[in-house]
Every structure is written in C-alpha cells, then in structure tokens.
Amino acid sequence: MLLLLYCRSYGQNVASKIEQHDLRSIIDTLSSVQFEGRSVDNYGQIKTQSFIVDRYKALQLSPYSSDGYLEKFFLLQKDMGEVYLKTNKDIILQNFNRMVFTGNIPSIKEIQSELIFGGYGTEKELDQIDVENRFVLIYTKTQTGDYEIKLSLEKRKAKGIIYFFENDKTIISTKNFYIDYSLGKSYSIFEQPDTKTIDSLSDVISFIYFIMLPKEEVKTVMGLSKVKLIRLANKKKIGKAPVVDISVHFENVEKKIETANVLGVIKGESEQSIVISAHYDHMGTEGDYYFPGADDNASGIAAMLELAEEFAQYENLKYTMVFLAASAEEVGLLGSAYHVDHPDFKPEKVVCNINLDMIARVDKVTDYTFLYCLSNNKSFAVDSLVKAADQLFPDCTCDYSMNTANLFSRTDGYNFSRKGIPAILFFSGFHSDYHKPTDTVDKIDFKMLENRVLFICEIIKQLQKSL
C-alpha cells in the first residue's frame, strides 16, 4: 500500500493525461479568429481568461488568492497623437513628414517659443548668444547629433534642440527606424499618471531632445537657407542670424486598460511552490488580419494546462504547484513583473519557475527531438535535475546552446530570476511565422509537441522529488 501511494504521488502508476488530442484542441481554440489574436486591449483577452479559468475549475485547481483566479491589474497605454512644428508664417511641419521627433514627453498643446541659431553648438558659439528659454538650431556633421551639446544647452537653460545635418541620410534612416515604434502603442503598469495637458514650456519639461529638420525645411523655419546659416557659422557670425518665433505641439493619447494574470493552484505538502508559467497574450489584430499565435504562445498555454491536468491527479505532492497564465508579455513582460513585484509575493517560497514560450515548432537548427533549455545553469541543483531527466526521456532532449544568448531576458522567466528564483525557459526556436498572421495551428506536429510536454513533465517530477 505504501509503495502504491509513493508511485501514485509521482505518477508512476497513473496513466498520463498529456495527450496530443487535448493539446490540439486547446491551441485550435485559442488561435481561432473568435479570440482576436489575444491582445491586451481587445475582447480576445477576456475570452482567453475565461477559457483558462474554466479549465482550472474543471481540474479542481484552487484559486490563487481570496480574489479568485484572476490577478487583476491595470496598464497605461500610450499612443503618440499629433506632433508638429509651426513656423511664424503658420506653415505646419508634421512629424515623420516634414520633421522628425522621436522623444516621449507629456502632452503639450500648441505653444510658442523663440528659435535661435547656435551654429555648430560649440561653447564659444553658445557664449555669443542668449539661449535661455529658447529652442536652439544646431548644425552638425555627426550621425545623430552631439549629446555633449545637449548637456551644454541644458545647463544654459535652453528649452530644446532642433538639428539639421550635412545631408538628409540621418533623418531618413531615423524616420525609417522609429516610425513604426513611435506611432505604435506603448504600455506600462498603471501608476496614476498625470495626464494633464501642459500650457507652457515651464520647468515641468526641462528639455526637448531632439527635433530634426530636413535641409529643405531649414529656410521654411528660419528664413535663411542651410547654406547661408553654415556660412554665418564658419565666419563666426551666428549672432547675425534671425531669431524667429515657432510653435510646437506634442500629443500623447493615454488610456487605462484592465487586464489580469490567471492563476490556479494544486496544494502540496509544503508552502513552497514550483511555478509553471506561460503568457497567453499575443499581437491582436491589424486591419483585416488577426494574429493567431498558435506557437506564440497558445502552445505554452496548452502545455501548461495539460501539465495542470497531469499533476491534479497526483496525491501528496511535495511542493505546491502554481500555474501562471501571464498577461502583457508581448508589451514588456508586464504581467509577470506585476506578479513578482506584488507585495504579497514571497520569492523565498518559490523553489523554481518553469516558463513555456513557443514550444511547438522547430527552427532551422534543431530537429524534432530537441527543445531549447535556457538558464538552467544558473542553479547547480536545478541544472543537475534537468540533466538527469534529460537522460531518462529519449524522445526529447535538451539543447543548451542558447544559454549564452540574450533571449532569456526577453521572457517572463527573467522576472522570477531577478527575484533570485531559479528559472528555466523551454523554447523551440524562432521561425519565419514569428509575430505574423501565418503562425497557425496547421504547422504544428502534435506528436512532437506531446513528447516535449511529457519531457517537461518528467523534469517537474524530478524537481518534486529531489529539490
């Protein structure tokens, strides 16, 4: 009887619940059009949360806290609105059209300031003019402007820099690099922001760095051409350049969004826990397209839910098991960050985190029997157990070659690691469908995925017995 209980504790005499049919069903559901790409700012995330909660309840997992299965929090979504510079002749230069601004400052409605020419921005030149509370137009031959000039102008209480360059290659490359990022949405954990529009260039904004002008727009703004301004700088007569009025307008659109991590618990004999995590959010929609995210990361959620079903049947687990479906990974690992930074989170009670992210495909390097394992080498005990399990399961084996890459810091396991918790990432490599509408369920080999989840299960059993 005692032997039977021991075996039942670690699943040796229990038929495995991990099946490719179930994996397919979960991924098929989560990657369907009804889930809208599971973005943090569309209805798809609510459907995903409900799907995971219903699964936890069916498996009789306990809620993580008295608040239930959902660990709710808020995100601040920021979107760049209208940004422009207006000349004293009311000519408007729109951002990413006739000027380039890539910074991030509070919203400023249209306000007026003076613009003065500062030549090359040398100390001798700046000593000749009064830059206080003015924008300063600087000519530079460097690739991106000179940060030392910025520091000098800040000390002199200037309000900002407008650069023009030897040629427009710099502006074109900067525009191409930043336009998608700047015009896209950014996210942070909501902390009661000040969304008030600023009415003047007060000390609230100490410096605006930096606006770039194409050479053909220099005359539009200053009334003198690029050639004439450079000639004044070379003759050391920048004081002869006009001081002109300009207006600037910066708009940031902010929106508060509610989201939630979804957590279920299998109680063990110890209050210490093993956390199995996978992010459920993805890229949402774009125009007429949606991003299924079958591999990224419906595969990780499917594996996590199958592991929950597997361990829910075991008795007398040594460690409590926490299953964390994290939100807001794609926008900055924010869901897992909120979880580990929450005042009630006790890192000393977590013995290990196993994070599952994109585990259903192969890249050009690996074959079907491989699964990348990252960060296992940060803990001797965990590393030993992973490698012991690796020897026990011939249908899947670890590839440790990415441990030297910077990939781990881009995943939710990083937030556990920064709390001093041993964390492992399982990952099957990037592929040509990464973050594209073509990341679909039909490209997954489900027998391969089943073997990988069984392998991860074996590692967790080793952790349950030996840590």
Q: Give the pLDDT confidence of 132-158 residue by residue, as tens digits.
A: 999 999 998 775 667 889 899 999 999
Q: Are 437 and 344 in contact (CB under 8 A)?
A: no
Q: What single string gives the DSSP state of each residue in 328-348?
A: --TTTSHHHHHHHHSTT--GG
pLDDT in tens, 89-130: 999 999 999 999 987 777 888 889 999 999 999 999 999 999
Kindly report the number of other CB atoms within 10 A of residue 181's CB atom.
Answer: 10
pLDDT at 221: 97
- Does the pLDDT at position 403 exceed 90? no
- Does the pLDDT at position 8 exceed 50? no
Return the CATH fold of 2-60+267-466: Aminopeptidase (3.40.630)
Instruction: Report how far apart, in Å, the C-alpha atoms of 210 and of each of 80, 102, 157, 225, 456 are.
Output: 16, 7, 15, 20, 49
Rg (CA), the chain: 28
Average pLDDT estimate for 48-55: 98
Residue with tokens 């011939």: 394
Residue with tokens 């957590």: 263
The residue type found at 230 is I
In which element (H, E) is residue 388 found? helix 380-392
pTM score, whole prediction: 0.78
For the chain, percent of residues with pLDDT exceeding 70:
92
Grouping H, G, I as helix, E, B as strand and the rest as coil, residue 79 is strand
Residue with tokens 């995330």: 45
Query: Where along the chain do its domains lie?
Result: 2-60+267-466, 80-253
pLDDT in tens, 75-89: 999 888 899 999 999
Average pLDDT estimate for 221-236: 96
Instruction: Report how far apart, in Å, the C-alpha atoms of 55 and of each of 59, 69, 235, 456 are.
Output: 6, 11, 76, 20
Of the candidate ranges 3-7, 363-367, 409-413, 436-440, the one whose mean pLDDT is the lowest: 3-7
CATH 3.40.50.300 fits 80-253, yes or no: no
> What's the rounded Cα separation, in Å, for the pair 454 and 310?
10
> What's the rounded Cα separation, in Å, for the pair 325 and 335?
9
Angle, helices 299-312/20-30, rounded to nearest 10 degrees: 130
With cut-offs at 50, 70 and 90, classify the pLDDT of residue 7: very low
